[in-house]
Amino acid sequence: MMKQATSYRQMELNPRMADGEMHSPEQVWQQMEQARQQAEFYEAQRDQWEAQRRELEESNEKKVLFNDSLNETGMKLHNAVRRLEKELESMKREHGEVSQINECLKRHLQILSSMQPQNWSTEGFSDRLREAMPKLERAENDFEEAYASASRFRHTRIFRNKPGVDSRIKASWEHLRAELFKGFFFHLPLFILLLLTWGMYVLVTRF
């Protein structure tokens, strides 16, 4: 009986005697090492998850910021392109109108340059003058009309400053007009005389 009690107390004092070798120092150290490694693993896992969470939040914030910038810049570019297209369309339309005016004035210039009234003969002068005056008047009217519409052109100032006439050229045009009217009035009595003679001839032949 005494021997059994002693053995029981020895088992309490000596862990190796309880449950075999379960609580040996080596096993305790191994269990502690495993627990430490497991704690480090969980800590590392937690840190990894936390880093992933922060990365995801930062990515979402960057995505929102980029999307906002993308929408803002896209809207600005869209509005700019619309305005530029309207401006180009307006410029294209004005370019077409200016080209038409240019062609019109060029045709008038060619017609007036081909007249050469100094070479007109006395015979048929009145007829040529009668044909030439409307052409000159149309050229002047189209010129004045072109420069009177300056306010409707936004992209060019060419029609806001009417080109002046050189004094020599102006004198030449005034001389041409004077010569045209002088020739007309010079031949007017002859034209009236011929008209009266023809009228008298018609009356005489009828009676």
Quote the radius of gyration of the chain (alpha carbons, Å): 56
Mean pLDDT of the chain, nearest integer: 78
CA distance 25 to 17: 13
Residue 153 φ then ψ, to 5°: -100, 120
Quick check: 14 pLDDT over 70? no
Q: How far is CA 14 from CA 20, 21, 29, 52, 185, in A?
A: 11, 11, 17, 49, 154
* Contact assessment for residue 16 and residue 23, using Cβ atoms and an 8 Å cutoff: yes
Instruction: Looking at the chain, list the stretches that DSSP marks H as alpha helix, in order from N- to C-terminal side.
Output: 2-13, 25-113, 125-148, 167-206
Q: Domain map of the chain by residue range?
A: 73-180
CA distance 171 to 189: 28
Please, what sign has the CA dihedral across residues 26, 27, 31, 34?
positive
Q: What's the whole-model pTM score? A: 0.50
**61-83 pLDDT per residue, tens:** 999 999 999 999 999 999 999 99
CA distance 184 to 164: 29
Quick check: 22 pLDDT over 80? no
CA distance 84 to 167: 44
Quick check: 43 pLDDT over 70? yes
* Rounded (10°) CA dihedral 200, 201, 205, 207: 10
* Mean pLDDT across 114-134: 84
**161-197 pLDDT per residue, tens:** 888 655 455 545 566 666 566 555 555 565 566 666 6
Crossing angle for the helix pair 125-148 and 167-206, to the nearest 10 degrees: 140
